[in-house]
Amino acid sequence: MAKHKTPLLDQLESGPWPSFVSDIKQEADARAKNEKGLDYQIPVDCPEDLLGVLEMSYTDGETHWKHGGIVGVFGYGGGVIGRYCDQPQMFPGVAHFHTVRVAQPNGKWYNTELLRNLVKIWELRGSGLTNMHGATGDIVFLGTTTPQLEEIFWELTHDLEIDLGGSGSNLRTPATCLGMSRCEYACYDTQELCYNLTQEYQDELHRPAFPYKFKFKFDGCPNGCVAAIARSDLSFIGTWKDEIKIDQEAVAAYVGGEIAPNAGAHAGRDWGAFDIQKEVVDLCPSQCISYDGKLTIDNKECVRCMHCINTMPRALKVGDERGCSILCGAKAPILDGPQMGSLLVPFMEVNKEDDYQSIKDLIENIWDWWMEEGKNRERIGETMKRLGMSALIDAAGVPVDARQVQEPRHNPYIFWKAEDVEGGWDRDINDFRKRHQR
Ligand code: SF4
């Protein structure tokens, strides 16, 4: 097996961080020696040729991957991303180098047996190189050949009971935080909702029929461990309607230095005495906390940023009336710049089967509108921007609400219609004129 010279890639191993180049070299060496005695199902020099083609791309300043046609598994329209090398004679080990997207377990809960079994399939039938995890959350298997795809699909779905993830213009693999399985802040059961919607929308996940990709993500609280607000077309973010619960004795214990702030996350460094004014009161973005020996929160001004709760978790707890906010339209900067989600539904309860139905009704209204109005390769956030938030609100079938803004206290970009206002526009404009004597 020819070893490629890789002077440019070698430089990437010299920094202080772990290097993907070292990882590929490790796999190339292991295959060359075949220490495990495997009967590799794809060319044994695949990782070595990957290094070669990468080096050539760096030298030429252009990619040597090309689109070469659609590949996939029987019955699915997504889950495999076809990739071919444009120099197959020089690098036969990566002539085909398809990526397989594998749905991650809910909340990324693995046991070691599952991890071993995943790797076993991939060492035999793929390059042995993985990406744990891709941006959408999938387990990403990097590099295999067309004849191996059905074999991999069969073993994943039948032996491990794991499905392929989404790719192309379809619903992408939904992603959720750990939720109630570990976290006391979870305001709804993120894993249950994620599982339920994943099962419900199997067709949308595997058979691309949308204008472009569509992502759901589920955060149990505004700390946003899966960053739903920035990374999903429809974000479900846990929140509460009532008041933050305060334990004044525990507040006094933080102030007195008996309990370490930030759940002791700063242990090992001397941050000095805890200063509640500096570290909590002054940092509240709404300036709605005060402390004069007793902590008070003006809850109607609170924007649920979580800062005070994260700093004093034993003194402050999220409220009891819990549910989620639903935001629409976040995306990465593919065409029109990055965009955060805009608030569509300020609060919805999600702890009953009935509530799941209202979520599904909302999703399907939005999809119907987007599939009708969206241009090819237009994310829903772009359709929303092009046609206006009010068009999305109409299509979603949710009531107009002054909180449907892009960010708190800014951009109330709703155009109110006469029929939305009690008494109609005429009454309002007449009142306005009378008040201003016009
Ligand atoms: Fe202020 Fe944020 Fe605490 Fe609300 S959650 S009271 S906005 S610091």
Q: What would the pLDDT profile of 377-393 be if each residue is shown by its tens digit?
A: 999 999 999 998 889 99
d(CA 26, CA 32): 10
At residue 276, does pLDDT exceed 80? Answer: yes
317 bridge partner residues: 245
Which residue's C-alpha comes closest to atom 3 of ligand 1?
308
Average pLDDT, the chain: 90
Higher pLDDT, 103 or 353: 103
Q: Which of 223, 281, 306, 312 to mutate to test the pocket of ligand 1 (most atoms within 8 A of CB)?
A: 306
Residue 141 lies in a domain: yes
Out of 317, 332, 365, pick the residue that ends a domain.
Answer: 317
Report CA(254)–ligand 1 centroid distance (Å): 17
- The reply to whether 235 and 372 lie within a common domain is yes
pLDDT at residue 55 in the model: 98
- The reply to whether 55 and 103 lie within a common domain is yes
Q: How large is the average pLDDT for residues 264-270?
A: 66
At residue 373, does pLDDT exceed 60? Answer: yes
At residue 53, does pLDDT exceed 70? Answer: yes
Higher pLDDT, 4 or 438: 4
How many structural domains compose the chain?
3
Q: What is the pTM of this model?
A: 0.88
- The reply to whether 226 and 273 lie within a common domain is no
For ligand 1, whether the C-beta of 307 sits within 6 Å is yes
Q: How large is the average pLDDT for residues 206-211?
A: 93
- Tell which residue, 271, 269, 246, 273, has the closest CA to residue 258: 273
pLDDT at residue 438 in the model: 43
Spatial CB neighbours of 346, under 8 Å, sequence gap ≥ 6: 325, 401, 403, 404
Residue 37 lies in a domain: yes
Q: Which atom of ligand 1 is nearest to the CA of 289?
A: 6
Ranges assigned E (strand) in 228-281: 234-240, 245-246
CATH no. for residue 116? 3.30.70.2500
pLDDT at residue 351 in the model: 77
d(CA 172, CA 79): 9
Q: Which of 308, 309, 325 to mutate to test the pocket of ligand 1 (most atoms within 8 A of CB)?
A: 308
Out of 317, 337, 365, pick the residue that ends a domain.
Answer: 317
Residue 169 lies in a domain: no
pLDDT at residue 418 in the model: 65
Of the candidate ranges 85-94, 147-156, 239-248, 416-425, the one whose mean pLDDT is the lowest = 416-425
For ligand 1, whether the C-beta of 348 sits within 6 Å is no
Residue 431 lies in a domain: no
Q: Which atom of ligand 1 is nearest to the CA of 283?
A: 8
- The reply to whether 251 and 129 lie within a common domain is no
Out of 277, 292, 317, pick the residue that ends a domain.
Answer: 317
Give the pLDDT confidence of 390-436 residue by residue, as tens digits: 899 999 999 988 888 766 655 555 555 666 665 555 555 555 556 55
CATH no. for residue 234? 3.30.413.10
Considering the chain, what percentage of its residues have pLDDT values greater than 90? 78
Which residue's C-alpha comes closest to atom 8 of ligand 1?
284
Ranges assigned E (strand) in 34-112: 65-66, 80-81, 84-85, 99-102
Q: How large is the average pLDDT for residues 98-105?
A: 95
d(CA 191, CA 195): 6
Considering the chain, what percentage of its residues have pLDDT values greater than 70? 90
> Which residue segment(s) compose the domain that 260 sits in?
245-317
